[in-house]
Structure 1
């Protein structure tokens, strides 16, 4: 994949000679700009003429083979070990980078807003002009996905569907104990046990995650409560899975709400209302619409039914208390925002649609699919039924 960095070149204009990132491969902007993943920090320099890497000797051979850089240099080429011994890690590294920049004709730099402050100050001491940009230029470029990136995300979502099926099957197979908790193979069925099944399934499909949400009852009333302990019958169980493909590094994201047994009247009403809001959001997606437009469509449905929203009440603690969605790519949360601050949607934006309602006295309900904005609307990258009761 060769990203189009013309917007980055345009951003640099006459103000900057280059754009510099110093981070490891877990930084998505670093990974995207360099095309290289390494566990230790390395330097990527972008100029309108080339992309150049400065890496440790350990990563030099692999960077030459795997990165999309035009040139790869070693810290050793700039006597980094001697500079480290004489000046310490930060100043020594800055001196090596300054020489690297000089070799590429760079005197003025733009960096991400989170560029290391100590390194920036030390580069300035070496005569390099460094300005942290706050336009999120790379994250905005990353937000518009190529067809190849959409396929990567779609593949992660297919793995996600398999893990959601594994979770649902486990809940379906559970028995209801006398105390109302769910049991599976003679043991209490816990949030932790369902998460384990999700993680094992994802690993078999080449994906992994650091954590997921399996939250039941009052736990589900907090949108980001991961959930813990025994699951119960007749209560809503929110399952929210957001895996990352281990090879491509692209993410998926999906949420379903299940009830084993008989949902309360309130949960049933909330589920039907949330499904209506979900479809209203999908109907609002088209190029030129904004994330705010899509969010408003959800709020309109909820508010018409008398439910709280943050749009109507910014201090609400129950009801619809989060945004409608977010971008997904190399990060599971990235641009564009589908919220009151949501910007214009473009073809290639991959976004979640995830309305929900929450109250500790009732529990929580959320439905989430992952879609890509197209020239004439959207394509849903999720193929999984939306059904409340697990029988």
Structure 2
């Protein structure tokens, strides 16, 4: 995937530094995005100010330094990861720690200082004397580099996430769409379990056992694995549990109670997330349960309709709040201390992180084509339960496109 690092390079030029350095493992989304590589142990990615920079330490056997499509991006990896990095990463150059006498440096100075001296030598090979680093950059590495004469300053705006990663390419949009399709298949499994369960003494029963949050979660995870996705945790929360937006839920699912199911899987190969929520009720909803669902659905539809390029995330959030407040429920906008009603933001960016920029919130900035955001209003009260409906959309030049095809309804269908 080609990426446009020009906003970062403009910031580097304005700051009069030679490059941008990331020191993290592949679980750091900025690292994965910029390096086009992932590894379980920390490695270093250098973005030079000039995109055509070529210098020593290249993995190119002909010595040209150019091996891929990310000009001015250079990696420093362990010998263990070198072969895989050469095969997978489309960057200008890949160097091994051994190219900079890593073992000798560690033997003489110890693991921490030896590693820092190796990184400093790597930077020197690219004529880099000053670097900007992300806010999450390790303090020990920063201080150690300064001791080696490298100027280190923090790039506090988070440009990689807020200005570069936030605008998704067509390839990224396709990956998110694929994850969301797997997500919908998992939701269908959960819905069918609830719809086809028997009801005994007010409890849902499946295969002669109570149908629990844990059982539904397990079946969701199995279906996601079949589709190349995984998740650390999901939400299947019934009754009062569903009134806490991040309660994972536990125990038997009950008839005549609201059941919030929020699934946010990640594709195991590409790393891109999906996110969707549906609320079901098996049995007969009370008048208040039905009303809360209907109001939430109207807020969700109104917020979706408001999503387009040039509109702020704050404005979209206000649309959802308007609907919910007009129906007589509190929001954090109307009462910042409320513990019931609408008690969270309307949405967030989704990509290599499940929560990233931009936001659909009181502080949300202007939405741009390529932004992928969730729309997920809800109403919560332990005495009634929780309701939340969530879709994932990409902002387009003329509005938005919804990744979801899954229906919105309260009663589960087999």
Question: 1:13 maps to what in 2?
Answer: 13
Answering whether residue 125 of structure 2 is matched by residue 103 of structure 1, we say yes
Q: 1:241 aligns with which of 260, 263, 267?
A: 263
Query: Is 1:378 aligned to residue 406 of structure 2?
Result: no
Task: Give 1:265 deviation, angstroms.
Answer: 1.4
Deviation at 1:303, TM superposition (A): 1.0
Matches of 2:5 and 2:241 in 1, distance apart?
44
The equivalent residue for 1:359 is 381
The 3-state SS of whatever aligns with 1:316 is coil
| CA–CA distance in structure 2, aligned partners of residues 204 and 387 of structure 1 | 26
Equivalent in the alignment of 2:37: 36
Match of 2:61 in 1: none
| Aligned Cα root-mean-square deviation (Å) | 0.8
Match of 2:176 in 1: 153
Give the conservation status (yes or no) of the 8 Å contact 1:261–1:390: no
What corresponds to 1:170 in structure 2? 193
Counterpart of 1:211 in structure 2 is 233
Using the alignment, how far apart are the partners of 1:312 and 1:107 within structure 2?
Answer: 52
Which stretch shows the higher mean deviation, 331-340 or 1-10?
1-10
Structure 2's unaligned 5+ residue stretches are 52-71
Deviations 1:145-183 (A, max 9, x none): 0111101000000000000000000111111112x1111
Residue 211 of structure 1 and its aligned partner are, at CA, apart by 0.4
1:277-325 residue CA offsets vs partner (Å, 9 max, x unmatched): 0011011111110000000000111111111111111111111000000
Cα deviation for residue 267 of structure 1 reads 1.2
Residue 224 of structure 1 is matched in structure 2 by 246
Residues 54-98 of structure 1: per-residue CA shift (max 9 Å, x gap): 000000111111112210111111111222222222211110111
Equivalent residue for 2:316, pick from 267, 277, 294: 294
Point out the more displaced range, 77-86 or 269-278. Answer: 77-86
SS at match of 2:344: coil
Which residue of the other structure, out of 158, 163, 176, is the alignment partner of 1:136? 158
Q: Which residue of 2 aligns with 1:196?
A: 218
SS in 2 for 1:30: helix
- TM-score scaled by structure 1? 0.99
2:347 and 2:109 mapped to 1: Cα distance?
Answer: 47
Aligned pairs for 1:21-100 within 5 A: 21-47=22-48, 48-49=50-51, 50-100=72-122
User: For residues 188 and 86 of structure 1, what CA distance do their matches in structure 2 show?
Assistant: 63
What does residue 252 of structure 1 align with? Answer: 274
**1:333 alignment partner, one of 355, 379, 398:** 355
TM-score under structure 2 length normalisation: 0.93
CA distance in 1, matches of 2:275, 2:140: 36
Residue 239 of structure 1 deviates from its aligned partner by 0.3
Aligned to 1:267, the other structure's residue is in SS state helix
Query: Is the Cα–Cα contact under 8 Å of residues 164 and 241 in structure 1 kept in the other structure?
Result: yes
CA separation in 1, counterparts of 2:141 and 2:239?
A: 48
What is residue 58 of structure 2 aligned with on the other side? none
Tell me the matched-pair count.
390
